[in-house]
Amino acid sequence: MDAQASISQEELRAVWTRIVDGGGLAEHDPRTIVAACRGLDHGPDARLRGAMVVHLTQVAQQILRPQVAAHYQNRSRDPVDEVVEAMVEAVLNPNSADGVGFERSFRGKLEKRLIDRIRQEKKRRDVFPLVERDVEEPPVEPLDWNSLSPEDVTVICSILESLPDNHRRAFLLHWKGFGFTANEGESIAGMLGVTPKTAKDWVTRAETRILEALGRSR
């Protein structure tokens, strides 16, 4: 990690382009990848940083899922996705103090965030008893893809690459016309194994991030 601070932007870009294009990210410590991603240029290196963040997302999911399955029954998706989303935002934000924390201890930072998230949820459930509802919510209006410029599409692809895997899959399924629930055939909730409310929340978060990046509002 320290060695990266002594090389130029061009050298850093060249090194990690070779690693990403060669499929070698799995061979590197996540802390090193975080440091490199935070050191790359936000503009020209968007594609490169996106690929690195997607890999970090997968690693984070692999670390956290077994712990949640063992200690947080029937709530295996929401806390992990929220922690992973916070990690992605910290890595991509050059001013984030948490980004530095993930450079120093990737696994430790993830686990601490997960513990905090579970404690918060437990407190909330103690005050407000949780009631699960498996009902279809009003649909989220999709973006008008025909009105997008090539630059808009590039921005959207970059945002999608940075999203947690389940959020990205939910958004793409919604874009392809699948509903959150369905009496017949496949639904987003069914394909992802979540409630319709969770599926809608994921799509809403994805679209909010995209609209913000495009300078638009809901």
Which DSSP letter does residue 142 get? Answer: P
Taking every pair of Cα atoms in the chain, the longest distance, rounded to a whole number of angstroms, is 59
Q: What is the pTM of this model?
A: 0.53
Encode the chain (218 residues) as per-residue pLDDT tens digits. Answer: 455 656 788 899 999 999 999 999 999 999 999 999 988 887 778 888 888 988 998 898 888 877 665 444 444 446 787 888 888 888 888 888 888 899 999 998 988 888 887 777 666 555 444 333 334 444 444 555 556 666 777 777 778 778 888 888 888 888 777 788 765 457 888 778 788 888 888 888 888 888 877 776 55
What pLDDT does residue 193 have?
79
What pLDDT does residue 4 have?
60
Domain 145-213 has CATH 1.10.10: yes
Where are the domains positioned within the chain?
A: 3-127, 145-213
Burial class (CB within 10 angstroms; exposed 0-12, middle 13-18, buried 19+) of 172: middle
Q: How far apart are CA 111 and CA 62, in angstroms?
A: 12
Q: How far apart are CA 178 and CA 170, in angstroms?
A: 9
Q: Look-up: residue for tokens 């905090």?
A: 116
Buried b (16+ CB within 10 A) or exposed e, 63-80: bbeebbeeebeeebbbbb
What pLDDT does residue 123 have?
60
Using DSSP's 3-state secondary structure scheme, residue 21 falls into: helix
For residue 62, what are the CA distances in angstroms to 58, 97, 102? 6, 24, 16
Q: Look-up: residue for tokens 């629930």?
A: 181
